[in-house]
C-alpha cells in the first residue's frame, strides 16, 4: 500500500473510487465536479490517497477553509484493510497542524462510516437538513485519541 498526497492528475481516479462506493452514494454527480475537487485539493485544503498495485483504492480530502471533512472513501473491496483509518489519520494530523478549529462532517445514518467516526472519537452533534448524522472533532479529542492508540 502506498499513501501519498493527492494531486490534480489524480482527480479521475478519485472519481472512480467515489462512484464505486455502496454507502453514501453520490446521487447527483453534478454536485461534485473536477473543478470543485481541484479547488479542495489546491486552495481550500488538501487530499491524500492510497494505491494498491497501482490502483487508487481510497482517498480523503479535508476542507481547511470550511473546517470540514469533504471526502473519505474506500473502494468496497478494500474496506477492512485499515486504509480508511490511515487516510483519516493523515488528514486529521495535517488539519490540526494547521489550525485548532473544530472540524465537522456528516454521513448517512446506519452506515459503516457512522460507526467508523464514532470509533475514532468523533462526537455526534445532531442531524443535517437532509437527515445525515453530523459529527465534530475538537483538537483536544484528536490529541486524546492519538495518545490512546
What is the pLDDT tens value at each position of the chain, 149 positions in all? Answer: 999 999 999 999 998 888 777 666 556 555 667 888 899 999 999 999 999 999 999 999 999 999 999 989 999 999 888 999 999 999 999 999 999 999 999 998 998 899 999 999 999 999 988 889 999 999 988 888 776 65
Query: If DSSP states are collapsed to H, E and C, what string results for 9-75?
Result: HHHHHHHHHHHHCCCCCCCCHHHCCHHHHHHHHHHHEEEEEEEECCEEEEEEEEECCCCEEEEEEEC
Domains and CATH numbers, the chain: 2-148 (3.40.630.30)
Cell, residue 122: 468523533
Amino acid at each position: 500500500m502506498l499513501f501519498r498526497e493527492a494531486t490534480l492528475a489524480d482527480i479521475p481516479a478519485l472519481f472512480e473510487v467515489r462512484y464505486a462506493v455502496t454507502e453514501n452514494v453520490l446521487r447527483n454527480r453534478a454536485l461534485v465536479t473536477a473543478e470543485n475537487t481541484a479547488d479542495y485539493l489546491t486552495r481550500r485544503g488538501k487530499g491524500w490517497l492510497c494505491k494498491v498495485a497501482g490502483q487508487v483504492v481510497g482517498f480523503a480530502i479535508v476542507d481547511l477553509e470550511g473546517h470540514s471533512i469533504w471526502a473519505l472513501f474506500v473502494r468496497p473491496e478494500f474496506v477492512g484493510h485499515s486504509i480508511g483509518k490511515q487516510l483519516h489519520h493523515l488528514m486529521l494530523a495535517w488539519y490540526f497542524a494547521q489550525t485548532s478549529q473544530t472540524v465537522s462532517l456528516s454521513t448517512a445514518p446506519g452506515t459503516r462510516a457512522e460507526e467508523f467516526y464514532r470509533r475514532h472519537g468523533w462526537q455526534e452533534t445532531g442531524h443535517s437538513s437532509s437527515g445525515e448524522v453530523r459529527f465534530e472533532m475538537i483538537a483536544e479529542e484528536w490529541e486524546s485519541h492519538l495518545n490512546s492508540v
